[in-house]
Copies of this chain bind each other. A is one copy, B any other.
């Protein structure tokens, strides 16, 4: 069975393995204080056009979110997130476990707006009993979102503006950042993040690395003592060099963007196939996650051949599902998938424009 269920089904990009092999017997200090990490930090600084920001490498995304958020908030403060945000839904209450409420803003598509943030903050600070409620003191977004969508530069700028007005940090979770940067409709670049966010992280795990996320702290205010927090939350890798080597590899010669682009191309081919098959989409994504809506038969038939996620059960026995590509997705597997989509939609699809042709093909 071919897997399209996530972007971490395979190992690491071959160049990363190569780099690990090549450096394996060199001796370095532990805990990320080595030449590989140092170099990788510089390269990331260059890629972001900001050599002043602090870069720290952590192993995983939940760990990065826990460490960043808990290092910034005071106990009575809460972080604002989309209701579909990863910290709101899929981290087993990890943020709450550090003592903080996640204020989940209702969204249709997983994107929050500057207007929503402004309103929540204003409502809080104009309430006479404000101290009876957690204080909204940070904004968390992901780019792309959990729903595969992107913030435009305009939207991101507005979010940044309201955050600066209200003196609360903007934190961007870039677990799938590569796939956002490589999307045809994206107009947000890494240098923009290093200008508009206070903290953000560049995802490695889902974009070619064995593991690893690069936390970039732009705002000086949040730089102090960050390594204590990494250690306390269990995120300080003994053999930290492995993180440096991987990010060094990913950010040399444009590898990060190059492999992201391939993944997005394959995702868009899949999208096209579902579209041509007459499918609607839960979210109109141009990144590596695609959310077609399938009827029961197509859903069931595809399930026999591929692994993918069931995102949401809809009325009328329809299923919003998620197909995910990654840097490792093989073109031939996508070819097979597309041909199956074509075939199944023609026979069992909701709008089989050419039923006879389908019939014929089947024979």
Contacts and interface: CB of A to CB of B under 8 A. Distances in A.
Interface of A: 2-3, 5-6, 8-12, 14, 17, 20-21, 23-30, 59-63, 65-67, 70-71, 74-76, 78, 89-94, 96-102, 129-135, 205-206, 210-211, 225, 227-239, 241-242, 328
B97 A75 contact: yes
Contacts of A98: 75, 97, 99
Given A231-B62, A234-B94, A238-B205, A24 B11 contact: yes
Number of copies: 4
A276 B175 CA distance: 55
A242 B210 contact: yes
8 contacts: A6-B238, A21-B21, A59-B211, A62-B236, A92-B133, A96-B96, A97-B232, A101-B102
Contact of A59 (B59, B134, B230): B59
Contacts of A24: 10-12, 14, 17
A241 B11 contact: yes
Nearest to A243: B211
Contacts of A12: 20, 24, 239
A206 B30 CA distance: 11
Contacts of A9: 27-30
A20 B23 contact: no
Nearest to A88: B101
A328 B25 contact: yes
Contacts of A21: 17, 21
A63 B238 CA distance: 12
Given A20-B17, A27-B10, A76-B225, A60 B236 contact: yes
A134 B10 contact: no
B131 A92 contact: yes
Contacts of A23: 11
B131 A231 contact: yes
A108 to B, nearest CB: 16
A133, A228, A235 pick with most chain B CB within 10 angstroms:
A228
A146 to B, nearest CB: 12
A236 B129 CA distance: 12
Given A89-B133, A133-B89, A75 B66 contact: no
A96 B101 CA distance: 6
A254 to B, nearest CB: 22
Given A10-B25, A30-B8, A90-B133, A76 B229 contact: yes
A134 B66 CA distance: 15
A230 B60 CA distance: 12
A90 B232 contact: no
Given A233-B234, A234-B62, A134 B210 contact: no
B10 A231 contact: no
A288 to B, nearest CB: 15
A319 to B, nearest CB: 15
A70 B90 CA distance: 20
A49 B101 CA distance: 39
